[in-house]
Amino acid sequence: MDLSVARKRMVAQLVKRGITDQRVIDAMQQIPRHLFVEEAMAAQAYSDTPLPIGEKQTISQPYTVALMTQMLQLTGKERVLELGTGSGYQAAVLATLAGWVYTVERIRPLALKARKVLDGLRLLNVNLRIGDGTDGWPEEAPFDAILVTAGAPSVPDCLIDQLAPGGRMVIPVGDKVDQQLVLVKKGHDGSIEREDSEGCRFVRLIGRHGWSEH
């Protein structure tokens, strides 16, 4: 199977489904998604579906990655915090669109695998650490954008605190099964505006400011 053709098809589907930000479209075309899944699943990498990546985690479907990224409205110079590195694919997309990416993963084997792929792609503007992502990365705050790639019971206050004035955060909020994408905008005066977007299904955001592991 010609994976470059599959990638073009994937991007064409994203455009059909309403992805309009040309920078996001270009990034999705550029990043080789098949490198972020198991080799046996490479042929499925460009289908618009989530795939297992081990450790009971998944790589989000391409449309969800594109939509959440588009909601951040990145222009190229931002410092972005991502919670839930997983395979590293979302971080790779962000790295092509922003100045710096800070990404946190609580599961060590996933973090190490993601780091290896990101380094292989020479995405050197990604800082990755292992830990409780629900705490954010306070010593590197504030961030112009925050992206949470797991479902939270609510929007953690500590993440709002780490968002820069004028910044945007996208986070799935809901119960353990179904969530809704929420866009949080912080005004330059510190005011907070919240907009609900599409329904979605993510693995649970585990940690001090999310769900408990059990």
CATH number at 144 reads: 3.40.50.150
Positive or negative torsion for Cα 131, 134, 139, 145: positive
| Chain segment 93-108, per-residue pLDDT in tens | 999 999 999 999 999 9
Q: Which residues pair with 93 in a beta bridge?
A: none
- Assess if residue 55 is contained within a domain: yes
With pLDDT > 70 as the criterion, what percentage of the chain qualifies? 100
Residue 139, Cα to own-chain centre: how many angstroms?
20
| Chain segment 151-169, per-residue pLDDT in tens | 999 999 999 999 999 999 9
Residue 8 confidence (pLDDT) above 70: yes
- Assess if residue 35 is contained within a domain: no
Closest CA to 159 of 150, 172, 174, 169: 169
Q: Three-class SS of residue 37?
A: coil
- Assess if residue 22 is contained within a domain: no
- Assess if residue 28 is contained within a domain: no
CA angle 111, 58, 17 (to 5 degrees): 120
- Assess if residue 67 is contained within a domain: yes
- Assess if residue 208 is contained within a domain: no
Residue 214 confidence (pLDDT) above 80: no
Residue 26 confidence (pLDDT) above 80: yes
The residues carrying an active-site annotation are 60
* Full domain range(s) for residue 191: 50-200
The pTM (predicted TM-score) of the whole model is 0.95
Residue 1: the pLDDT is 62
CA distance linking residue 40 with residue 138, whole number of Å: 38
Number of domains in the chain: 1
- Assess if residue 38 is contained within a domain: no
Average of pLDDT values for 191-211?
92
- Assess if residue 104 is contained within a domain: yes
Rg (CA), the chain: 16
| Chain segment 32-53, per-residue pLDDT in tens | 999 999 999 999 999 999 999 9
Q: Which residues of 116-130 are buried (b: 16+ CB within 10 A; e: fewer)?
A: ebbeebebebbebeb
